[in-house]
Structure 1
Amino acid sequence: MKRIVILSLLALAACHGGHGDSLAYLNGYAGRSPAAAGIWDTEPLHTKLKDITGDRYDQFVKYMKASGPLTQDKYLYAIAPVDSGFAYILIDTKTSKIAAAIYTKAAIENFQEPGESFTTPAGVQGQLDSLK
């Protein structure tokens, strides 16, 4: 009986990525397109991103299909062009916190978990400056 319970728990962990609450596994995706690598469906990123973006989750992921690769610059980040702006995700793999945003000339939508704010990586700051 113990063997069945242990095997069931291992199978459940494998189905959910087995990463617990840590986002450190995403370091292995640096240099790859988030959409092509399928990170949006990995846990716990999927749940964390859905929690912060709410009803904008599907739109955010749709925008991010056109993103460049995950880049390492203090945090992992990816940027995607959006109409007259861009969308991005920041992932702190050390603290397992995330932030995301959709910036257009019409609106700015920031999504972030509670806690300290992220410092903006140079690549994202360049995009912010281009909207001014």
Structure 2
Amino acid sequence: MTAPVPALRWTPPLDAQALTGVLEKVRQWTPFDGGALLDDIATALDDVAPSGAGLEGLAQRLHEHLTRLVDIAIATEAAHEDHEAGRLAQRARALHAERTPADHQSAVGHLRRMAWAANELLERLAAIGCLKEAA
């Protein structure tokens, strides 16, 4: 017969405060919606430019899409392992950091650059298997 081996007492990896923080982040999380992204890209690249109020909402949504796509590229390590994905993620970050111009024509141009960057990054991430094709 073998002698019992003393085991270390188990301690949870996170304390209550850290678990509360994790729970809050899980509650705020929303799944990636490729259909909504493609709808916003189509709206931004449409022949008819969005108007004032619609422009601000669309700009905010495109900012969120760019953030999510860059996060996916980083989490899957595509930004480091695939040169093209890394370049597109860097471009998306740069566009995200720019402020939307005040005048309408420049704002529409900025919006379209963001939409184009989101579309290219989405296509690249799908091509290398980080995402399923968006519908």
TM-score after normalising by structure 2: 0.34
Higher normalized helix content (fraction of residues) = 2
Higher normalized strand content (fraction of residues) = 1
Larger Rg: 2
Structure number with the bigger relative contact order (C-alpha 8 A, sep ≥ 6) is 2
TM-score after normalising by structure 1: 0.34
